[in-house]
Structure 1
Amino acid sequence: MRALCWNGRNDIRCETVPDPSIEDRRDVIIKVTSCAICGSDLHLMDGQMPTMEQGDILGHEFMGEVVEVGSPDHVLKKGDRVIVPFNINCGECRMCKMQNYASCLRSNRNAAMAAKVQGYATAGLFGYSHLTGGYSGGQAEYVRVPMADVAPMKVPEGMSDEQALFLTDILPTGWQALDYCDLKGGETVAIWGAGPVGLFAIKSAAVMKAGRIIAIESVPERMSLARIAGATDVIDPSTEDVMERLRELTNGEGPDAVVDCVGMEASGHHGLLGALSKVQEKLTSTQRPYALEQMIQAVRPSGIVSVPGVYAGPVPINMAAVVQKGLTMRSGQTHVKRYIEPLAKLIQHGTIDPTFLITHRSGSLDDGPELYKTFRDKQDGCVKVVFHLG
């Protein structure tokens, strides 16, 4: 089969690799009908995540048709169209039973290594380094889905691939980020980054009836989409002082909640943070917490800091400010299974149209290496890439 494979920093290739096979009775094999490139994949491309190995198959946003099952009594059957969450869930451990699916205690085959490198292990993830289990990803023609009797969901009748695909990751991720903000309605929320997750965070804030939704973004196409998603205000950090503008928009108090949709590759634009950013980017530092530090400074006392952005190791932040302001910080990989069914209903009812951010489509994985570069470099107005493989 054909698949997009990691071959080193900034070296993504479409290669012919062996087809996957059933390894356990709980497995299924999926023929991928649609998959996407996620912003998190760029961390792999840029060499920011450790333990990647040459030939690793990328991709954790995918869906498709079941073509083989591990046992005759499997809950999934051949021909089922399924959405596959990016994290793998055993369904049996305490975390899964508490619906903390991203913290599944059994699905990460390399949990001990991950805990040693990063301080704690997440669940097993598709296509996302050997720290997350070394599972082959879904930017491929076929995928083995382990523990497939738990997380995958059958596609609701009448729902297209493009409507369903982002239920695998970025829509639940944006939604969880705002769910963590405990909105009651009428609050002011500021969201750093209007990439795909940021756009869905903005949309989620609008659905949850935030009173004011402020996006911090400097890429013109993303700024426009932020307004389409529901942003009432957009701050361009390349031309405006973010802190000053936030004070103006909140009567000097700061937002009630702030959301980090940038993560470890944030860039500073002004002052000392801007100078440090330029130095660290030249040194290819993997941890640049400028957005996170700015959010801690900006949020009102007793406010909430929600962090869906990816970090791969320790970062320096001002804990004194966190403590003195009495902030609540909530973070983590997304518990996709917790949200996937209610979000599917919102799509069916027309409350959320997840297709608005797709800018690039391809019918062939052979286009993958170039589209990775286009997405990384934000060329040609690229915000989201989707492959339709039939």
Structure 2
Amino acid sequence: MINTVYRLCAPRRFEIAFSDLDVTQGVIVRPTHLSICNADQRYYQGTRDIKVLKEKLPMALIHEGIGQVVYDSTDSFQPGDRVVMVPNIPCEEDEVIAENYLRSSKFCGSSSDGFMQEYYQLTPDRLVKLPESVDLDVAAFTELVSVSVHAITRFKSVAHNRREIVGVWGDGNLAYITSLLLKKMLPHSEIHVFGINREKLSDFSFADGTHLTTDIPEGLALDHAFECVGGNGSPIAIEQIIGVIRPEGTISILGVSEYPVPINTRMILEKGLRLFGTSRSGRIDFQRTVELYREYPEIPIHLSRLVGNIVEINKYADIKEAFEVDIKKAFGKTIMHWNI
């Protein structure tokens, strides 16, 4: 079966390639809704290190997406089933290390071709069936939601049980998703969000409190915190968290930074803090995310606020348009309706 692949070959330039799919192996999925991530943009705009770009390009982008099953040689799914695609591809199993942290694992749109293809071939364990009621534009960025689910699940296993007040630093997509899920997964905790944009913070209607980082209430102390800032804002956010967190609290680091971030180790030692990093997610996190969609129908409703630009991809030129539109967005996710 001949498949069309749309690869980034240089910053802001795509090319068409072809691959051969063996329909007797695994599951053939037709991608339908794809979501552009900041990581995709770093490749598209060429802001990654030039050595990295030379090593990885040409490559099909996108690791957030859903599709419809076309054919399943394993009889695990029915043709027409709506599924979310798990971009993490483990090459081995480890009884201690999760699949998303194994150095041998591949990842779509990073170490292997992503979902910008006419068809995509996966093993059945890399697919999770979606509820019929879920908004497909929201489902497109389930991968990002699953990262927050993964972080909170790990937090629950390592943090002490005094969880009266939990802080989230950031006012972007990841902070929005993480604070929303914390309200559901830690129902007895107060969730306070700290950001730099008052207008964005007004969207966090489900939070118990929102605060500008320049105006943190005097005396406010947190039991634990999640850092969802990343980039150049990471050092400031982490320093603020260390300043207001109570002794023996846990800090979850989710923000991605291209350069090393200085951390106040003296205060970490004095307060006996725990810090742990979270990157990507695995199949179990996708399954739990879909369960949360079913258990709390209000979660997809809140997440729909993140659906920003919707771009119909009917021809090759539409792909570049979608990425250019995404660059200009202020908040939310750009969703591509993949009709090409």
TM bracket, shorter-chain basis:
0.7 to 0.9
Report which stretch shifted further, 187-196 or 158-167.
158-167
**In structure 2, what is the equivalent of residue 333 of structure 1?**
279
The letter of the residue matching 1:191 is V
**In structure 2, what is the equivalent of residue 18 of structure 1?**
17
- Identical aligned residues as a percent: 22
Instruction: For 1:367 and 1:247, locate their aligned partners in 2 and report how far apart those are by CA, in whole Å.
Output: 50
Instruction: For 2:75 and 2:253, locate their aligned partners in 1 and report how far apart those are by CA, in whole Å.
Output: 36
**In structure 2, what is the equivalent of residue 372 of structure 1?**
323
Q: Greater share of strand residues, 1 or 2? A: 2
Contact residue 89 and residue 124 of structure 1 kept, 8 A: yes
1:206 to 179, 183, 191: 183
Contact residue 172 and residue 339 of structure 1 kept, 8 A: yes
Q: Mark the runs of 5 or more structure 1 residues left unpaired by the alignment.
A: 109-122, 129-133, 268-287
The CA deviation at 1:368 is 4.2
**In structure 2, what is the equivalent of residue 171 of structure 1?**
145
1:347 to 282, 285, 293: 293
Instruction: For 2:201 and 2:293, locate their aligned partners in 1 and report how far apart those are by CA, in whole Å.
Output: 23
- State the secondary structure of the residue aligned to 1:101: coil
Contact residue 22 and residue 28 of structure 1 kept, 8 A: no
The letter of the residue matching 2:211 is I
Instruction: For 1:78 and 1:352, locate their aligned partners in 2 and report how far apart those are by CA, in whole Å.
Output: 28
- State the secondary structure of the residue aligned to 1:302: coil
Contact residue 257 and residue 304 of structure 1 kept, 8 A: yes
Instruction: For 1:185 and 1:166, locate their aligned partners in 2 and report how far apart those are by CA, in whole Å.
Output: 32
The CA deviation at 1:305 is 0.5
Q: In the alignment, is residue 356 of structure 1 matched against residue 305 of structure 2?
A: yes
Q: Map 1:223-302; keep pairs closer than 5 Å.
A: 223-225=201-203, 227-228=204-205, 230-237=206-213, 240-241=214-215, 245-248=216-219, 250=220, 254-263=221-230, 265-267=231-233, 289-302=235-248
Distance of aligned partners of 1:352 and 1:373 in 2 relative to their CA distance in 1, 3 Å threshold: same
Deviation per CA, 1:256-295, whole angstroms, max 9, x where unpaired? 11111122x133xxxxxxxxxxxxxxxxxxxx63323332
**In structure 1, what is the equivalent of residue 100 of structure 2?**
102
Instruction: For 1:142 and 1:388, locate their aligned partners in 2 and report how far apart those are by CA, in whole Å.
Output: 14
The letter of the residue matching 1:176 is H
- State the secondary structure of the residue aligned to 1:266: helix
2:58 to 55, 58, 67: 55
The CA deviation at 1:36 is 0.3
Q: Map 1:4-15; keep pairs closer than 5 Å.
A: 5=8, 7-8=10-11, 11=12, 13=13, 15=14
- State the secondary structure of the residue aligned to 2:40: helix
**In structure 1, what is the equivalent of residue 40 of structure 2?**
41
Instruction: For 2:193 and 2:242, locate their aligned partners in 1 and report how far apart those are by CA, in whole Å.
Output: 16
Distance of aligned partners of 1:322 and 1:20 in 2 relative to their CA distance in 1, 3 Å threshold: farther
TM (normalized to structure 1)? 0.72
Q: Map 1:100-249; keep pairs closer than 5 Å.
A: 100-104=98-102, 108=104, 123-128=105-110, 134-145=111-122, 148-167=123-142, 169-182=143-156, 187-207=164-184, 208-209=186-187, 211-225=189-203, 227-228=204-205, 230-237=206-213, 240-241=214-215, 245-248=216-219
Instruction: For 2:47 and 2:23, locate their aligned partners in 1 and report how far apart those are by CA, in whole Å.
Output: 32
TM (normalized to structure 2)? 0.81
Contact residue 185 and residue 211 of structure 1 kept, 8 A: no
Instruction: For 2:335 and 2:226, locate their aligned partners in 1 and report how far apart those are by CA, in whole Å.
Output: 25
The letter of the residue matching 1:316 is P
- Runs of 4+ with >6 A deviation: none
Instruction: For 1:46 and 1:206, locate their aligned partners in 2 and report how far apart those are by CA, in whole Å.
Output: 37
- State the secondary structure of the residue aligned to 1:17: strand
Paired positions, count:
323
Contact residue 180 and residue 330 of structure 1 kept, 8 A: no
Distance of aligned partners of 1:220 and 1:247 in 2 relative to their CA distance in 1, 3 Å threshold: closer
Instruction: For 1:356 and 1:320, locate their aligned partners in 2 and report how far apart those are by CA, in whole Å.
Output: 40
Instruction: For 1:170 and 1:374, locate their aligned partners in 2 and report how far apart those are by CA, in whole Å.
Output: 20
Q: Mark the runs of 5 or more structure 2 residues left unpaired by the alignment.
A: none
- State the secondary structure of the residue aligned to 2:140: helix
The CA deviation at 1:136 is 0.9
Instruction: For 2:59 and 2:198, locate their aligned partners in 1 and report how far apart those are by CA, in whole Å.
Output: 34
